Structure 1
Amino acid sequence: MALTPAQLSQWEEEGYLVLPSFFSQAETKEMLDRTHALLSSFDPTTHPLTRFTTAADGPNAHVGDEYFLNSGDKIRFFLEPGAVTPATATEPARLNVPADRSVNKIGHALLLDPVFGKYTLGDRMTEVAKSLGAHKSARVLQSMVICKQPRIGGEVPCHNDSTFLYTDPPSAVGCWIALEDCTPQNGCLSFLPGSHKTARISSRFVRASGGGTTFEPVPCVKPNEEDWDALPGWKEAPCTAGTMVLIHGSVMHRSPPNPSNRTRIIYTFHMVDGECVYDEKNWLQPTPEMPFAKLF
């Protein structure tokens, strides 16, 4: 499925592109059913109860432990912050919701799964990526399901993806696929159209020298001074199951918490240009057993 001139124009102008019905009902159901099977297999007794949040600091900050840092070539489970009662001096950490409703994310190499792998690296995706014209050599990384669980699914604050998957020059593109209907009530995406034209990738998410992760400045790039959240023009992007959203690595986007009684399950992966520099500072690293998959 090659993108049309009108779609490419919208992509260049707004920094994101919504493609309804990119996947059929049967294809979407296959991915959703596989997600539920993976959730049913989750065994918290073998898990370090690693929570996931994108906050940079505060009491719920994600600490980037080894379970997280070594997940680039594995299928691992990361939990909603609200699903875990922290350990005390006398009690270990424990789940406070059913195990299959505790998972925020399954990743970061979900394309190892045969169902997700065939849709990630299939001909349609290759055709879209080629017609987008963003990469000379598209490499796939960070493939994952995000569940945004009912009532505890957390906010994803305003960010852009190249901060977390940095290349020199920046080249990240997100492919975000709705496996269920995504609405304002259960935490759909919102975008600041055109922000990819003015946002600078001035910091990056890296492996900290003492362990864990941190954000560090990108040399010679002036930090952004804009309060992106406060700027006018934000647009919600509700969509139906089977929709794919392409996301420019510099466009500002966010999603609210999910206070509803419905899940908001999506599958997403990213592409970077293999011709750009992807260095050892990045938190997510390829391994000899699993280099970043080549889409074309």
Structure 2
Amino acid sequence: IDVCTHNVVVVQYRDEGYLVLDGLLSPEECDALRDRMSEITEQMDVPEHCRTQFSTDHDEQLKKQGNADYFITSGDKIRFFFEKGVFDDKGEFIVPKEHSLNKIGHALHAYEPLFKAVTHSPKVQCIYIYIIMVFSITFFGTVGGAVLIHGEVVHRSAANTSDASRHVYTFHIMESQNTIWSPENWLQPTEELPFPSLYT
């Protein structure tokens, strides 16, 4: 579906709160993103105190990390968050690095040129022009498809229990004109990295 020429997808998105777009990225674009992520993963040097498993639960973060700062202050950085059971009691990997990660966040769109190019691509800009709402967009690296999720739709990502990695690239877009970003949101712009415009 070409979202720039089919009003039906706009109606579907507004009615259902999400939209699946097949083949938004080409196989070549997916391969390039996957190859770059493999390089980042292979080169990651994670300090011992950061070798903690990822959790979106604040109390669990406190229990595992002593505080939630590593996650809370990651909005303008590229940091690594790990699945459960990937380290031994000394903090050493017990699985291959490429299978250890839950996510890498949260500033790939700012510091990694390939991810920045996708985030600010004409394809994404076109979607935003026609959807005109706050949404999250997740690209699935295996087929180049994307899922748009409205910002008011409650959603979650369950643990990946399969043998295959779940290659996705997720970012969030919001309307900035005549809006105020909630100071209660954990993700805040910083002097080092203000929220970038989609059209830059």
Same fold (TM over 0.5): yes
Q: Who is 1:33 aligned against?
A: 35
Deviations 1:59-88 (A, max 9, x none): 896766322222111111111123234x5x
Alpha-carbon shift at residue 38 of structure 1 (Å): 0.9
Mapped contact 2:136–2:171 kept (Cα < 8 A)? yes
1:40 partner letter: E
Q: Who is 1:263 aligned against?
A: 165
- Greater alpha carbon shift after TM alignment, 48-57 vs 13-22: 48-57
Residues 97 and 3 of structure 1, relative CA distance in 2, 3 Å threshold: farther
Residues matched between the structures, number: 194
1:100 partner letter: E
Residues 105 and 59 of structure 1, relative CA distance in 2, 3 Å threshold: closer
Q: Who is 2:140 aligned against?
A: 178
Mapped contact 1:3–1:131 kept (Cα < 8 A)? no
Deviations 1:136-183 (A, max 9, x none): xxxxxxxxxxxxxxxxxxxxxxxxxxxxxxxxxxxx410110012xxx
Q: Who is 2:8 aligned against?
A: 6
**2-structure distance, mates of 1:106, 1:59:** 16
Structure 1 residues 1-296: aligned runs within 5 Å: 2=4, 4-45=6-47, 48-55=50-57, 57=59, 65-85=68-88, 92-111=90-109, 112-134=111-133, 172-180=134-142, 241-274=143-176, 275-296=178-199
Unaligned runs of 5+ in 1: 135-171, 181-240
**2-structure distance, mates of 1:46, 1:62:** 13
Deviations 1:27-77 (A, max 9, x none): 111111111111111223566213212235458967663222221111111
Mapped contact 2:55–2:61 kept (Cα < 8 A)? no
2:197 partner letter: K
Residues 105 and 255 of structure 1, relative CA distance in 2, 3 Å threshold: closer
Alpha-carbon shift at residue 293 of structure 1 (Å): 0.8
Mapped contact 2:54–2:61 kept (Cα < 8 A)? no
1:99 partner letter: K
SS at match of 1:100: helix
RMSD: 2.3
**2-structure distance, mates of 1:261, 1:6:** 37
Residues 50 and 58 of structure 1, relative CA distance in 2, 3 Å threshold: closer
**1-structure distance, mates of 2:141, 2:64:** 26
Identity %: 36
**2-structure distance, mates of 1:257, 1:107:** 17
1:115 partner letter: L
Deviations 1:64-121 (A, max 9, x none): 6322222111111111123234x5xxxx444332233211111100012000001101
- Could you tell me the TM-score, scaled by structure 1's length? 0.60
Residues 252 and 276 of structure 1, relative CA distance in 2, 3 Å threshold: same
Unaligned runs of 5+ in 2: none
Which has more helix, going by share of residues? 2
Mapped contact 1:44–1:99 kept (Cα < 8 A)? no
